[in-house]
């Protein structure tokens, strides 16, 4: 029986690709499925991937067709994802309902880092994988820290094996004592309290999978402003809560880090605005009502 589908990540090709290509090693099956979903464009994309062409990838809306056709309606967590799904499947109901935020920090674990009183802490939180651009971020941070020894970088989350050698990277960049890694944190309360230890949250995902970042929302729930790439859901955030950069622009990111280090009062105001935004736009009661309204409309 069909039901409603909640799609957290718009780009399913990453998940399906990992299952068929990495786990099963079956490129033929991946190519057939991509061609079945997108017909000739899907077949062409599969050939480019098979030939390992630079920049080759499956379209973000690949692997949606059967899912959409078997659903009474689709729910996504941001307007960018809703618009892309609507463009690809305009005859199917798609509703944008924000991701709810129902937990807030109960403490601030900054003191556990034993930092000087004037320290400034940038942080990236959540699983540390290649899409989070950790190596790129730390490289730019290292350049800025030469003139700002008060700058520190906190990483909270498991470094995904095979994707990032964090100890080696820290040594290579000469950042011993400046980068602090807290490994996988199983308890949500502890994770939020570590997030609160930052002055600014760095949430630079490239490429974006069409997601709404729960880690970024956690930072906002801790009254911390964000540094983001100006794309996808991140572009939808108001300028009062996030500093938005062109993706992978080294100069812009370094300038942004320097700006943060010299404009602490502005960042504090942005943090308060971020908390107010989360409380207003991501309230569980409001979001639950939107789910019920959409369900009622689809089942009427």
Which residue segments constitute the domains of the chain, with CATH numbers given? 3-96 (no CATH), 109-280 (3.40.50.2000)
φ, ψ of residue 231 to 5 degrees: the values are: -160, 160
Residue 124 Rama label (left phi>0; alpha psi -120 to 50; beta)? beta
**Dihedral sign of CA atoms 199, 200, 201, 206 in order:** negative
Show Cβ contacts of residue 122 under 8 Å, excluding neighbours closer than 6 positions.
141, 151, 152, 153, 154, 198, 199, 200, 201, 202, 227, 257, 260
Predicted local confidence at residue 269, as pLDDT: 98
Alpha-carbon distance of 144 to 147, in angstroms, equals 6
Alpha-carbon distance of 145 to 151, in angstroms, equals 6
pLDDT in tens, 8-50: 988 887 777 778 777 887 777 877 887 777 777 777 777 777 6
Question: Considering the entire predicted model, what is its pTM?
Answer: 0.91
Q: How buried is residue 59: exposed, middle or buried, by Cβ count under 10 Å (0-12/13-18/19+)?
A: middle
CA-CA distances (angstroms) from residue 17 to 57, 89, 110, 203, 270?
Answer: 10, 22, 39, 24, 39
Going residue by residue through the chain (300 aa), what tens digit of pLDDT does each one get? 678 999 998 888 777 777 877 788 777 787 788 777 777 777 777 777 767 666 666 666 677 887 888 899 999 999 999 999 898 888 889 999 999 999 999 999 999 999 999 999 999 999 999 899 999 999 999 999 999 999 999 999 999 888 899 999 999 999 999 999 999 999 999 999 999 999 999 999 998 888 999 999 999 999 999 999 999 999 999 999 999 999 999 999 999 999 999 999 999 999 999 999 999 999 999 999 999 999 999 988
Q: How buried is residue 253: exposed, middle or buried, by Cβ count under 10 Å (0-12/13-18/19+)?
A: buried
Alpha-carbon distance of 149 to 211, in angstroms, equals 34
Question: Edge-to-edge strand order for the sheet containing 94-96?
Answer: 3-7, 71-76, 94-96
Alpha-carbon distance of 38 to 32, in angstroms, equals 10
| Strand residues in 126-257 grouped as ranges (E) | 151-156, 179-182, 200-203, 226-229, 242-245
Residue 116 DSSP SS3: coil
Distance from the first to the final alpha carbon of the chain: 16
Cα angle 95, 98, 100 (rounded to 5 degrees) comes to 135
């Amino acid at each position: 029986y069909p039901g409603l589908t909640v799609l957290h990540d718009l780009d399913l090709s990453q998940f399906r690709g990992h299952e068929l290509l990495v786990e099963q090693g079956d490129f033929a099956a991946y190519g057939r499925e991509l061609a079945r979903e997108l017909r000739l464009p899907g077949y062409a994309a599969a050939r480019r991937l098979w030939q390992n062409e630079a920049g080759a990838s499956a379209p973000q809306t690949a692997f949606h067709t059967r899912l959409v056709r078997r659903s009474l309606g689709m729910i996504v967590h941001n307007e960018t994802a809703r618009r892309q799904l609507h463009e690809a499947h305009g005859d199917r109901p798609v509703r944008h309902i924000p991701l709810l935020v129902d937990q807030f920090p109960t403490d601030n674990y900054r003191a556990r880092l034993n930092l000087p009183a004037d320290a400034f802490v940038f942080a990236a939180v959540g699983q540390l994988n290649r899409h989070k651009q950790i190596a790129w971020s730390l490289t730019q941070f290292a350049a800025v820290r030469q003139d700002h020894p008060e700058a520190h970088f906190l990483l909270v989350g498991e470094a995904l094996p095979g994707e990032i050698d964090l100890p080696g990277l820290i040594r290579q960049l000469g950042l011993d004592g400046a980068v602090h890694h807290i490994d996988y944190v199983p308890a949500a309360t502890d994770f939020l309290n570590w997030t609160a230890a930052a002055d600014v949250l760095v949430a630079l995902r490239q490429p974006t999978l069409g997601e709404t970042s729960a880690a970024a929302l956690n930072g906002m729930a801790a009254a911390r402003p964000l540094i983001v790439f100006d794309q996808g859901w991140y572009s939808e955030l108001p300028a009062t809560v996030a500093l938005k950069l062109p993706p992978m622009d080294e100069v812009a990111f370094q300038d942004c880090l320097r700006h943060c280090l010299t404009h602490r009062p502005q960042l504090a105001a942005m943090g308060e605005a971020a908390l107010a935004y989360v409380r207003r736009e991501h309230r569980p009661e409001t979001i639950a009502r939107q789910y019920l309204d959409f369900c009622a409309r689809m089942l009427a």
